[in-house]
Amino acid sequence: MRILAALAFALALVAPAAAQTTLIRDGRVVTNTGAGVIENGDVLIVNGRIAAVGATLTAPSGARVIEAQGRYVTPGAFAAMSELGLNEISGSGAPDDASVEGELVSAAADVARAFNPAVSAVAVTRMEGVTRAAIAPSGTATMFGGRGALVAMDGGPDSIFRERAFMVLELGETGAERTGSSRAAMWPVLEAALRDAREYPGRYRSGQGGAVLNELDAQALQPFANGQGLFLVRMESAADIRRLIRFKRDNPQLRFVIHGGAEAWQVADELARSQIPVLLDPLSNLPDRFERLSARLDNAALLHRAGVPIGIAPAPGTVDAHQARLVLQLAGNAVANGLPWDAAFAAVTRGPADAFGVGDRLGRLERGYAADVVIWDGDPLEVMAAPTTVLIAGQEQPLSSRQTRLRDRYNPAGRR
Amino acid sequence: MRTFAIAALAASAALSACSTTGGREEEADASDRAPYASTYAPRASTPTLIQNATVLDGAGGEFTDTDLLMRDGRIVQIGQNLSAVADATIVDASGRFVTPGIIDVHSHLGVYPTPGIDATSDGNEATQPNTAEVWAEHSVWPQDPGFERAVAGGITTLHILPGSANLFGGRGVTLRPVLGARTVEEMKFPGAPQSLKMACGENPSRVYGGRTSSPATGMGNVAGYRQAFAEAAEYNRRVQAHAESGEGDPPDRNLEMETLAGVLNGDILLQWHCYRSDEMATAIEISHEFDFEIAAFHHAVESYKIADLLAREGICSAMWADWWGFKIEAYDGIRENIPFVHAAGACAIVHSDSGVGIQRLNQEAAKALADARRAGLNISRGEAWTWLGRNPARALGIEDETGTLAPGMRADVVIWSRDPFSSYAVADAVYMDGALVHERGRRQPPYSDFELGQSYREGGQ
């Protein structure tokens, strides 16, 4: 009886939402599709998905109508790399699930098991128009950085929409540091680890064990080593990227996305031929690491021009749990440095969705896509703009957070 | 604005006399120069007339269709329809914006330069909680490639501080980002006071508490400050007593005490890293006990909670637009911190603490301005530029020299491609003392010797 009641309650929670129909009317609709930008466009949302996008849609009876009044209507932003939900406060000795310490596991670390949708950063992030995020550990003890997940920013219990979406693989300075302090050791260890994973469980059951991986890590790595999962490879230098392209040629079944790629512009044509996407930081222009000596502000523009798929993410080493909202500012700065606006906006929406293999349902305003829709009070890549409405899978999100509560408590303009 | 013209003429006459001596900032014979003193010399410049700009003057004003004339390193006139002087370079800034060069009151360029490796990590003398004796300028590497990037972002003055590991981190220095400088003295802002960097909160107690030495707690921090200032007051008394009486030997020189005494005497400006409002309030109590002034609280994430107190005390707050959550003392950061401080009549400053952030402080101000308006505060663009102009100049004691655009001020000027409160705005031209030091799109070898000859860079950027 109690179970039945609970079930009825659960259905009651879902049912009205599932039946909900919303029409957003008269917006500057950025579709991220061949339809481009539709002036005075409408977006019809039924049951959490986009049902239609066009110039003049009719609201079905009972539909909620949101007047966009000519404002930008766009897909929600996709933060291509963050530690969102893995801590409330990242320093101060507070609990931090982003950082995986010790030798117990590395590849097997799984942030889907750590993500907490209730952290205050989720609300802070979504009210800035970010509706989805890729999350990963900040680091482990080895070159295998653990398994990342894709999450929605709705703060609900089912926020994780893809577990084990990718395996972080450190193959730059950081990877070398963790592997005998040398790239000369890193690559042979990588190859040995892939063999361990492919030969799991046989060599572990036989008692032979792994050459370099423990059993847990070998098991976790196996699908990725067999081409069934995506490696998110952190590297910056042109020399490292060339090595990866060559490695991909010899191991065509493996799937890679580069995170970092500050010097990728130097190998843009090779990257375009290999169609390895790059998640890059448009602000990366300091030679702060030796692997980033030729970082430059127009990296995004040069890669885009060459035909390399790009997404925008904070540079490795600057990824955090609190400022994923700044991806739109990063994209605006890419525009300031030569990237066309459409490409820049795509790089914080469609680009990450495509790179993570969910581009068939996220990142576009197109029939059948999840209705992550944001209405803005200005150009979304402008630092002074902000959302006025945020929908995730058709559900309107509160534009409030712990920060707005503090704001209202101390506002000298008297709003409380 | 037109009324500036008369004063400007007088100023320009006085200044052109100066230029006949070779345009050197300091005419003193090098052999007479005090050790460590500035040797900064402005680059050669031609008179320049910028026409038809929207001017944000850094003092709160915004003026459309306005011209600005600079000559011999100084601003001589601002107004409409100015006539060009002989040999003036004329720049049409129609549709563009002109502001004072940006001042960053909190930078570690040079002391934590790029590339960042163990050997270049020169910003924290974290060997004991009081290292008031060290000077950041003695860690500055003039070849830091970050200086060139900062200039491209409109920076013409920056204050380099030691890190925050210590209660007393040492002396900070105000620099010009002189590209190609071979010595730090070439970069020192002439006549700018030094500062003392102090730090509240988690950092000192974590660094030293972790070594089971004091301070390990917030109360340990405060005891450390008070004991040191008590000793400095006594040192000061003995130095002054000897100076007055001339009897006996002077007290032994103590570099640590000299710095603290400088704060007590008002010669050295206090820049205090302090996030939490309650800790700032305690710091103010300490300043009352020992009768010194605090120029600014830095990283003052919670200033909005005590904006009235900060206004009353006349203390500036140097703040980020939106950093938060990276430690517990930054947990209550809100995007309206800067405008709430401003609205209380206190001195608000946008700072970077970052080699990346320093390149676009205009965008940080823009975010704060936008959030102010959403919160119901009526703040103009001109007022918002005081966060990058007059206010940081004041906190560094150089408000009579730079930070605002007015006749007689140093001609530190940025021409922005468009409204600088836009993501898309870039600095088209940056003038320092009237000399063009950055021009967007100009291809040239990197200034830093470190970057020269790295073949991939030579392709230009």
Q: Is B439 on the interface with A (CB under 8 A)?
A: no
Q: Is B95 on the interface with A (CB under 8 A)?
A: no
Q: Which residues span the domain enclosing B86?
A: 4-100+444-459
Give residues 366 to 405 of A whose Cβ lies within 8 Å of B.
381-386, 403-404
User: Is B134 within 8 Å of B172 (Cβ atoms)?
Assistant: no
| Terminal-to-terminal C-alpha distance of chain A | 45
Indicate whether B69 and B113 sit together in one domain.
no
Indicate whether B52 and B130 sit together in one domain.
no
pLDDT tens, position by position, B297-309: 999 999 999 999 9
CA angle A260, A264, A265 (to 5 degrees): 135
Indicate whether B19 and B129 sit together in one domain.
no
Contacts of B188 (CB under 8 A, 6+ apart): B37, B38, B39, B40, B137, B173, B174, B175, B176
Q: Does residue B291 lie in a domain region?
A: yes
CB contact under 8 A, B323 and A323: yes
Instruction: Show the DSSP H helices in A199-326 as ranges.
Output: 202-205, 215-225, 238-250, 268-274, 299-306
- Nearest Cα residue to A172 out of A230, A232, A231, A236: A236
Q: Does residue B257 lie in a domain region?
A: yes
User: Is B99 within 8 Å of B134 (Cβ atoms)?
Assistant: no
pLDDT tens, position by position, A209-263: 999 999 999 999 999 999 999 999 999 999 999 999 999 999 999 999 999 999 9
Interface with chain B: mutation pick from A122, A384, A409, highest number of B CBs within 10 Å: A384
Indicate whether B232 and B351 sit together in one domain.
yes
- C-alpha dist (Å) from residue B43 to B18, B30, B432: 14, 18, 8
Q: What is the distance between the alpha carbons of residues A261 and A72, in angstroms, rounded to a whole number?
A: 31
The more confident residue out of A44 and A14 is A44
| Terminal-to-terminal C-alpha distance of chain B | 39
Indicate whether B53 and B193 sit together in one domain.
no
CA distance A90 to chain B (A): 5
CA angle B436, B438, B444 (to 5 degrees): 115
Chain B residues in contact with A124 by the CB 8 A cut-off are 324
How many domains does chain B divide into?
Answer: 2
Asked which of A15-29, A212-226, A402-416 is least confident by mean pLDDT, the reply is: A15-29
CA angle A111, A113, A115 (to 5 degrees): 65
The more confident residue out of B27 and A314 is A314
Q: What is the distance between the alpha carbons of residues B410 and B403, in angstroms, rounded to a whole number?
A: 9
DSSP codes, A28-54 = EEE-SSTT-EEEEEEEEEETTEEEEEE
Indicate whether B222 and B322 sit together in one domain.
yes
Q: Does residue B417 lie in a domain region?
A: no
Mean pLDDT to the nearest integer, A21-40: 97
Q: Does residue A274 surpass a pLDDT of 70? A: yes
Q: Does residue B424 lie in a domain region?
A: no
Q: What is the distance between the alpha carbons of residues A391 and A47, in angstroms, rounded to a whole number?
A: 12
Q: Find the helix or strand (DSSP H, E) in which A2 lies.
A: helix A2-19
pLDDT tens, position by position, A82-141: 999 999 999 999 999 999 999 999 999 999 999 999 999 999 999 999 999 999 999 999
Q: Do the interacting molecules here have an ipTM over 0.90?
A: yes
A26: left (phi over 0), alpha (psi -120 to 50) or beta: left
Chain CA centroid to CA B275, Å: 19
Asked which of A9-23, A316-330, B35-49, B310-324 is least confident by mean pLDDT, the reply is: A9-23
Indicate whether B171 and B88 sit together in one domain.
no
B334 closest CB neighbour out of A297, A406, A413: A406
User: Is B420 within 8 Å of B155 (Cβ atoms)?
Assistant: no
φ, ψ of residue A83 in degrees (nearest 5): -115, 25
Chain B residues in contact with A266 by the CB 8 A cut-off are 456
Q: Does residue B293 lie in a domain region?
A: yes
Q: What is the distance between the alpha carbons of residues A305 and A314, in angstroms, rounded to a whole number?
A: 21
pLDDT tens, position by position, A74-85: 999 999 999 999
As a dihedral over the C-alpha atoms of residue A352, residue A354, residue A359, residue A360, rounded to 10 degrees, the angle is -170
B326 closest CB neighbour out of A294, A322, A407: A322
Per-residue tokens: A39: 């002036």
B355 closest CB neighbour out of A286, A320, A406: A286
pLDDT confidence of residue B85 = 87
DSSP codes, B260-326 = HHHHHHTSSEEEEE---HHHHHHHHHHHHHHT----EEES-TTGGGGHHHHHHHT-EEEE-SS---S
CB-neighbour burial class of residue B31 (10 A; exposed 0-12, middle 13-18, buried 19+)? exposed
Chain B residues in contact with A405 by the CB 8 A cut-off are none
CATH classification for the domain delimited by A77-362, as one of 3.20.20.140, 3.40.50.300, 1.10.443.10, 3.30.565.10: 3.20.20.140
Give me the CATH number covering residue B144.
Answer: 3.20.20.140
Indicate whether B8 and B152 sit together in one domain.
no
CA distance B403 to chain A (A): 23
Indicate whether B17 and B109 sit together in one domain.
no
Q: Is A263 on the interface with B (CB under 8 A)?
A: yes
Indicate whether B190 and B263 sit together in one domain.
yes
Size of interface A-B (CB pairs under 8 A): 134
CA angle B330, B331, B337 (to 5 degrees): 70
CB contact under 8 A, B325 and A386: no
Q: Does residue B5 surpass a pLDDT of 60? A: no
Q: Does residue B29 lie in a domain region?
A: yes
Percent of chain B with pLDDT over 90: 88
CB-neighbour burial class of residue A369 (10 A; exposed 0-12, middle 13-18, buried 19+)? buried
Q: Does residue B26 lie in a domain region?
A: yes
Give me the CATH number covering residue B81.
Answer: 2.30.40
Q: What is the distance between the alpha carbons of residues B359 and B148, in angstroms, rounded to a whole number?
A: 10
Indicate whether B79 and B203 sit together in one domain.
no
Amino acid residing at A347: A
The class level of CATH for A2-74+375-408 reads mainly beta
Mean pLDDT to the nearest integer, A390-401: 98
Q: What is the distance between the alpha carbons of residues B174 and A77, in angstroms, rounded to a whole number?
A: 40
Indicate whether B145 and B48 sit together in one domain.
no
A406 closest CB neighbour out of B332, B423, B450: B332
Sorting pLDDT into bands at 50, 70 and 90, what band is A324?
very high
Give residues 82 to 141 of A whose Cβ lies within 8 Å of B.
88-92, 94, 120-121, 124
B115 closest CB neighbour out of A285, A287, A383: A287
The number of CA neighbours under 13 Å toward the Cβ of B272 is: 29
> Domain segments of chain A: what residues?
2-74+375-408, 77-362
Q: Does residue B413 lie in a domain region?
A: no
CA distance B360 to chain A (A): 10
A90 closest CB neighbour out of B202, B305, B325: B325
